[in-house]
Amino acid sequence: MAMTLHQLKIFWAVAQAKSYTKASKILGLAQPSLSQQISKLEDELGSKLFDRGFSKINLTDAGEYLYTKAEQIIASIGEVEEGLKEFSKNTRGILKVGMLSSVARNILPTTMQLFSNILPNIEINVLEVTPTEAIDLLYARQLNVAVVAEDSLAASNLSFAKKELFVDPYVLAVSKNINLEEITHLKDLNEKQKNIVSSSIVFEFGSQHKKRIEDWFKKNLNTKKVIAHTRSYEVALSMVEAELGVVVLPALTALIGFGKSYDVNLYQTDLLDRRLVSLTPKQNEYLEPAKSFISCLVEAGKKLNLPKVKSSPEILKGISRKLKIS
């Protein structure tokens, strides 16, 4: 019969106390029971573990060896037991989170600072995904929490618990060298500026989103010239910086992170704001660590400083209908 953990703990306690009487008090076991277990352990190992004297007991060489190993084993088992207790409370482990890169770089650092104060032993695994990919991964249980725009959700996504995080207005991004606020007459635009303002950059994701932006351009700029299609906010803003055209996008996307933003002018539009929400399976809504992480997302949203957005200029509406593009 193999040595048991119970026997090992009894042996360690007796060796530590150097007395059956003291060990029995520590373990809360009767002294005869301790003696019986030690004798059984010695028989099973085929080695004498203690030299028994009148006043105290001493370890034999075999006992010294076992004592050293027992101390290591019992300490390791204690660590495992404590670790498993933390897992049972969901205070350790990995939390898988999915969101767009533009959202991640601006809200995640603050969120993680707050979260680490609550559950410091949770590791965050961040996936940069589109809203569609995020929802698919939530269904597949490969994500615990996702951050998406509310307008990207369908009725079929009602199986997820939703929490509003912050509001992100849609803005018109224009080259820094074109300040529409200072333009009072269309003739103030030179030919280069006319071409820039009349050229749009279009995003290739979300049919409803794409149509809203196209309708806005038709209504406000009557832009017919599309210079590029892209799925990247970063690419679109780089094109605006290079004076290739203009684009309508969420204000948050103009932030590079750490308070820095793309070198462009941003103007208000009359489009409905983008509302960012968190999603998590309903059965996890009130469970850790998702519960605390979502609370930290909400707090980070309150601390978020969007880039400076200028008022919509009077000249903006219908500007292209009056432009004569050569």
- Residue 3 to residues 37, 46, 65, 66, 72: CA-CA distances in angstroms? 10, 11, 15, 12, 16
Q: Cα(159)–Cα(249) distance, rounded to whole angstroms?
A: 29
Instruction: List, for residues 33-65, the tens digit of each pLDDT value.
Output: 888 988 998 898 898 999 877 667 889 999 899
Burial status of residue 208 (CB atoms within 10 A of its CB: 0-12, 13-18, 19 or more):
exposed
Number of Cα atoms under 13 Å in the Cβ half of residue 286: 0
Task: Decide if pLDDT at 208 tops 70.
Answer: yes
Instruction: List, for residues 67-100, the tens digit of each pLDDT value.
Output: 888 888 887 887 677 566 656 666 678 999 999 8
Q: Which domains, from first to last, does the chain contain?
A: 5-88 (1.10.10.10), 93-167+275-303 (3.40.190.10), 170-273+307-322 (3.40.190)
Amino acid 321: pLDDT: 40
Q: Which of 234, 304, 288 lies closest to 92, judged by CA?
A: 288
The most confident of the ranges 46-50, 258-262, 297-301 is 297-301
Q: Which of 212, 209, 180 lies closest to 320, judged by CA?
A: 180
CB 309 within 8 A of CB 267: yes
Report how many helices (DSSP H) and strands (DSSP E) the chain contains, helices first: 11, 14
The Cβ of residue 54 has, within 10 Å, a number of other Cβ atoms equal to: 5
Amino acid 317: pLDDT: 54
The Cβ of residue 178 has, within 10 Å, a number of other Cβ atoms equal to: 20
Q: Cα(194)–Cα(12) distance, rounded to whole angstroms?
A: 86
